[in-house]
């Protein structure tokens, strides 16, 4: 397999990557055949996976615009993935030109691409780090240089927590990040769930099996379990709802049924 110029030498391009599969679902070009094969296997069980990912990105853009409208112009995007059209810094800058964006990901391809995209951007940066070690994120030079934790921050955990198993204490990691944020900060979150997928759970479970096979288990949590991530936050209306129902730009009933798969919500610290 030939290694593209944009692929860091350190990565194994024979192993599928969640970030590159996500890029493929969104129609991006920074993925390998091994990623496309895994993604197509998952789509064999949930054909609407690209629609779910598009709905996820559309929610993220609405939430970023909401944050800027509330005067929050600092963004900490953990599990940011490979930059695609309509990334956080583009959406935030369109609403507020001084917006600062710190991307964090542990996938080396995502980090390398972000570095290339942000090379000349003084108000955005990327950090190679893992959500499961929040202290490393909060104390890193990149974060402390760019983000003032004494002022409100929008913490984005978009389509990331369902890749953190309970054994790795995702609730503890989210609580540690929350405790580091100033009052008036926001938590912007999406999470996969069997609820609202327009398929029987046993059929959708085939896609979950693909992620287990590539050693990135996809943890499908209930609405109740997802709501626990918002402990210590006041929910912004309309609360924790299916992706397309959070402050939609168009009528949710006009959207693809797969757009309701998974939950989205925004919380604010008191």
| pLDDT score of 121 more than 70 | yes
Domain residue ranges in the chain: 49-198+220-269
Dihedral angle, C-alpha 83, 87, 90, 95, nearest 10 °:
-170
Read off the pLDDT of each residue in 4-8 and give the average, rounded to a whole number.
Answer: 70
| pLDDT score of 253 more than 90 | no
Read off the pLDDT of each residue in 62-83 and give the average, rounded to a whole number.
Answer: 96
Q: What is the pLDDT of residue 1?
A: 60
Cα(245)–Cα(131) distance, rounded to whole angstroms? 27
Q: What is the pLDDT of residue 29?
A: 87
Q: What is the pLDDT of residue 159?
A: 97
**Least confident segment among 7-16, 67-76, 89-98, 126-135:** 7-16
Read off the pLDDT of each residue in 144-164 and give the average, rounded to a whole number.
Answer: 97
Model's pTM, two decimal places? 0.94
- Tokens encoding 135: 């202290």
Average pLDDT, the chain: 94
One DSSP character per residue, 211-230 reads HHHTT-------HHHHHGGG
Q: What is the pLDDT of residue 251?
A: 82
Is 52 within 8 Å of 27 (Cβ atoms)? no
- Dihedral sign computed on CA atoms, order 91, 93, 96, 100: positive
Cα(213)–Cα(107) distance, rounded to whole angstroms? 18
Give the tens place of pLDDT for each residue, 10-45: 777 788 999 999 999 999 988 889 999 999 999 999
Read off the pLDDT of each residue in 179-208 and give the average, rounded to a whole number.
Answer: 96
Q: What is the pLDDT of residue 117?
A: 87
Preceding amide of 238 cis, omega within 30: yes
Percentage of residues of the chain with pLDDT beyond 90: 84
| pLDDT score of 239 more than 90 | yes
Confidence of residue 85 (pLDDT cuts 50, 70, 90): confident
Taking CB atoms within 8 Å and a gap of at least 24, the contacts of 39-43 are: 41/210, 42/206, 42/207, 42/210, 42/211, 43/207
Give the tens place of pLDDT for each residue, 195-237: 999 999 999 999 999 999 999 999 999 999 999 999 999 999 9
The hierarchical CATH code for the domain 49-198+220-269 is: 3.40.50.150
């Amino acid at each position: 397999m030939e290694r593209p110029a944009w692929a860091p030498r350190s990565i194994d391009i024979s192993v599928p990557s969640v970030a590159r599969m996500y890029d493929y679902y969104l129609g991006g070009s920074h993925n390998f055949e091994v990623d496309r094969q895994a993604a197509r296997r998952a789509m064999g069980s949930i054909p609407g996976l690209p629609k779910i990912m598009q709905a996820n990105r559309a929610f993220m853009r609405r939430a970023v615009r909401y944050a800027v409208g509330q005067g929050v112009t600092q963004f900490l995007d953990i599990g940011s993935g490979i930059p695609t059209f309509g990334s956080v810094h583009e959406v935030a800058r369109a609403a507020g030109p001084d917006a600062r964006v710190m991307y964090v990901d542990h996938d080396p391809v995502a980090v390398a691409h972000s570095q290339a995209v942000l090379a000349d951007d003084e108000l955005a940066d990327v950090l190679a780090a893992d959500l499961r070690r929040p202290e490393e994120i909060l104390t890193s030079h990149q974060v402390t240089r760019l983000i003032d934790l004494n002022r409100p921050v929008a913490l984005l955990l978009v389509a990331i927590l369902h890749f953190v198993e309970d054994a790795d204490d995702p609730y503890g990691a989210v609580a540690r990040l929350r405790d580091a944020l100033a009052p008036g900060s926001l938590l912007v979150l999406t999470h996969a769930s069997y609820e609202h997928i327009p398929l029987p759970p046993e059929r959708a479970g085939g896609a979950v099996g693909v992620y287990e096979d590539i050693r990135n288990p996809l943890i499908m949590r209930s609405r109740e379990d997802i709501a626990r991530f918002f402990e210590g936050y006041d929910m912004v209306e309309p609360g924790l709802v299916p992706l397309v129902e959070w402050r939609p730009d168009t009528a949710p009933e006009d959207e693809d049924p797969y757009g309701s798969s998974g939950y989205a919500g925004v919380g604010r610290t008191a």
